[in-house]
Copies of this chain bind each other. A is one copy, B any other.
Amino acid sequence: MKQVALGIDIGGTNTSIGVVDREGNVLYDKKPQLPTPQKKDNPSGSEIKSEELMLSFIAALTLEIKAAIETVMKINPHIEVVGIGIGAPNGNYYSGTIEHAPNLPFVGVINFAQRIQDEFPHIKHVKLTNDANAAALGELIYGGGKGMKNFVMITLGTGLGSGIIVNGDLVYGADGFAGEVGHTTIVPGGRLCGCGGIGHLEAYCSATGIKRTVYELLAKYNNGESELALVPYNDMTSKIVFDAAEKGDAIAKEVFEVSGELLGRGLADTVHHLSPEAIFLFGGPIAAGEYIFKPTKDSMERHLLPIFRNKVKILPSELREGSAAIIGASALVWKELEKKNE
């Protein structure tokens, strides 16, 4: 029997569903993805509406999981589904609950993993955590973190997520929610963060944070010569900044320098906590390569105690952008199996 795991990632817009084997091969990846219920469908935060949306979401997800298993079994009938791993916003590993997720229409604490388990009682492991924690497990099980005991995963997207590996396992903390490095304060009195906080790392060094820096620098220098000045705020991406930097655009290059300076300082704070072997960066901005890696490394080293210098690698994630979400979620299952076998 070939063992496989289901990986489910509940994103703000869509939910990905895939089947992944122990080596990280994606045997199935549902396209188009299942739409995630939207906050705007429950604008008043009604508990009744929340439950309605949850029931129809669980029903749709159940059908999709069955379809995924059937599709994979048609190709190889000798398959055993050993678990379902779920990445979800504000996902609590210990209880399998989704708690007060600000971008979902569900109210309060949702017993999500249990509801899925109830639909598939014969599947042994149904586990849930947040997407960045799942990505860290993906890096540990399939990626550049294989064989490492201590590393940190940083995901740069709309937000800045993180997952922390200590002694070969994910750090969940006392309540199941550890690893929110994006919400450490990097600039006291600085930018408003999406969470309502002030000056958080996420507000500067996520993909969105980098975009904000573009317009801050355009405003600072009033530089109409930069080709970035031609792009509306809502259309700006890390890719556009990278392309401009490649053509020598001074603003674009400074955007990466400023972002790397702050990210490096933030990573130094993380190293002072955890002394990891490596920090993996994942997400759109890392396609800018040395434009972002060099200032980040330089700043991190400069902010480290001598004892930590020239020890900690900053590496691009080895997870592929397209399938990282389901691969990360599926890694939860393999990690559970490992723990049971210890």
Which one, B268, B275, B305, contacts A173 given CB within 8 A?
A: B275
Residues from chain B with Cβ under 8 Å of A169 in the complex: 167
Q: Is the interface of A mostly helix, strand, loop or mixed?
A: loop
Q: A265 vs B200: C-alpha distance in the bound complex, in angstroms?
A: 11
Whether a CB of chain B sits under 8 angstroms from the CB of A308 is yes
Whether a CB of chain B sits under 8 angstroms from the CB of A239 is no
Assess whether A171 is in contact with B166, with CB atoms less than 8 Å apart.
yes
Whether a CB of chain B sits under 8 angstroms from the CB of A274 is yes
Residues from chain B with Cβ under 8 Å of A166 in the complex: 166-167, 171, 173
Size bin of chain A's contact surface:
35 or more
* CB interface residues, A 135-156, toward B, < 8 Å: 148-151
Whether a CB of chain B sits under 8 angstroms from the CB of A289 is no
Which one, B100, B174, B270, contacts A275 given CB within 8 A?
A: B174
Whether a CB of chain B sits under 8 angstroms from the CB of A232 is no
How many whole Å from A195's CB to the nearest CB in chain B? Answer: 6
Q: Provided the pairs A166-B166, A197-B303, A265-B188 are in contact, do residues A181 and B90 lie with their beta carbons within 8 angstroms?
A: no
List the interface of chain A (C-beta within 8 A of B): 90, 99-100, 148-151, 164, 166-167, 169, 171-188, 195, 197, 265, 268-270, 272-277, 303, 305-308, 311-312
